[in-house]
Amino acid sequence: MGEFVRLEVADGIGTIRLERPPMNALNTQVQEELRAAAQAATGDDAVRAVVVYGGEKVFAAGADITEFTTVSYQDMVTRAVALSSAFDTVARIPKPVVAAITGYALGGGCELALACDWRVVAEDAKLGQPEIRLGIIPGAGGTQRLARLVGPARAKDLIFSGRMVDSDEALRIGLADRVVPAAEVYSAAVELVRPYTTGPALALRAAKQAIDGGLSVDLAAGLALESHLFAGLFATDDRVEGTTAFVEKRKPKFTGR
């Protein structure tokens, strides 16, 4: 697809692969190729779940800092919006998405992982938001998604200090969902999302929209969103199949329609 990011599809799983050696630095080109890959995964009905993977050595060690040394405030006003929206495109993939993290997920790399639904982390991996050490803050969702995931106090600890956390701490605070040996990260991520490749795609989409959308509004609005999405699923073939299969005491065969 792109020079540094591509989407591979096999058995219902789309793998968004970052390939910009040696550290998968997230420059503007990678940012836009990520956006394109996420849009492709969203629009491809053959993709029922997604793995974001940086390879066997490193997930992504952050932004390409060389781009920051000469950029002006006026330039960054525009570029910051594009950066945030590119990562938001990943977050808005209406399918189950897991980050498979090896090596480092720092700065923008950690923010990319936060844009996924789950994070499978290698035992020797390091995660963090070190932007404060450059005199800046996370700019692609880190202050918002990290606080929602691990709580504001822990997010402030990580963002104010810029320190890295190992896999044990990441699991303890909820930044990681599974920790496995480095050689098993990709396969563990695939196995995590494989069950969803035969699930009711429209119901999964609705569930993700209800959870993520509800987090940004008050409870009443969230409940209204849930009710709307719940009712809408009664127009789907999968609802008919699911309820009929339950009554007939058999396994449902969902079609995603």
Q: Which residues are part of the catalytic machinery? A: 63, 108, 111, 131
Nearest alpha carbon to residue 142 among 100, 112, 172: 112
- Mutual angle of helices 28-43 and 73-91, in 10-degree steps: 30
Please say whether the beta carbons of 178 and 121 come within 8 A: yes
Q: Which residues contact 94 (CB under 8 A, 6 or more apart)?
A: 42, 205, 208, 209
Separation between Cα atoms, residue 80 and residue 256, nearest integer Å: 36
Residue with tokens 């795609």: 201
Q: Which residues contact 125 (CB under 8 A, 6 or more apart)?
A: 59, 101, 102, 103, 104, 105, 166, 167, 170, 182
Please say whether the beta carbons of 170 and 127 come within 8 A: yes
- Which long-range contacts link 132-135 to residues 24+ away (Cβ below 8 Å)? 132/159, 132/160, 132/161, 132/162, 133/162, 134/65, 134/68
Please say whether the beta carbons of 41 and 47 come within 8 A: yes
Phi-psi region of 31 (alpha: psi -120 to 50; beta: other; left: phi over 0): alpha
Separation between Cα atoms, residue 7 and residue 39, nearest integer Å: 10
